[in-house]
Amino acid sequence: MKTENLYPYLLPGLVEPAWADIAIPIGHGLFATLFEDQESDGGIVHVAVSPDQLQAANLSAADAHRIALENLTRFADESPALTIQVLGRAGDPVHFLLHSDHPRAAACLRLPDLFEQAREHLQTDELCACVPQRESLVVLPKRDRAFREMLVGKLREIEADSTHLLSFELFELSPQVVRPFVES
C-alpha cells in the first residue's frame, strides 16, 4: 500500500461489518472509509483498504485516517480536477459553495479548513452541508428551514439519477466539528 495514494471516502454504510474498527462514523449512516487510489487509463481505480492491509503496513486506523486527510487536503488545495465554486451571492434565493466533478468531492466534508473556507465565501458563521453523492459536497448558509428544504429539494431532483448516492441529510459545520444537523 502506498500511503501517498490513501484517501478518505464517504460511504453509506460499512464495506464489511468487520471494518467498523477502521471506519469513522460521520452521521446519517455515513462512514469515512479508507481507499487507495490508483491512476489507470480509464481513470482512478478506488480500492478499499482492509484492516489486514493496515496491519501489514504497520499503520493504525488513526494514523491511516490522518494520512488520508492530509492527502485529501493537499488534493483539494492543488488539484484542478476538483471544481470548487460559489453559486449565487449572500442574500440571493440560491447561494451555496459546491465541491464537485471528482469522486473525492464528498469526502471534502472532512477537510479541516472547510468551515473557514465556507465562512469566507458564504459570509456567514452558520453553515450546513449536504453530500448527496460521491462527486458533490454542497455547503450552504443555515438561514431558515424553508431555505434549507428548498435547496435540499433541488438537490434531490438534480442528483436523483446519480450512481453513487450518499445522503440528502444535512450536517452542521463549526470550526471544531462536523455533526448531523437536526431541525429544532
Read off the pTM. Answer: 0.94
In the numeric block, the cell 460511504 is attached to 11
Neighbours of 52 (CB within 10 A): 9
Asked if 46 and 37 touch (Cβ cutoff 8 Å), the reply is: yes
d(CA 163, CA 41): 21
Name the residue range of residue 27's domain: 3-78
Contacts 24+ apart (CB under 8 A), 139-144: 139/96, 139/97, 139/98, 139/99, 139/114, 139/173, 140/95, 140/96, 140/97, 141/90, 141/95, 141/96, 142/172
What pLDDT, on a 0 to 100 scale, did the predictor assign at position 12? 95
105 & 171 share domain? yes
Per-residue pLDDT 10s for the chain (184 aa) are 899 999 999 999 998 888 899 999 999 999 999 999 988 888 778 899 999 999 999 999 999 999 999 999 999 999 999 999 999 998 888 999 999 999 999 999 999 999 999 999 999 999 999 999 999 999 999 999 999 999 999 999 999 899 899 999 999 999 999 999 998 7
18 & 64 share domain? yes
94 & 167 share domain? yes
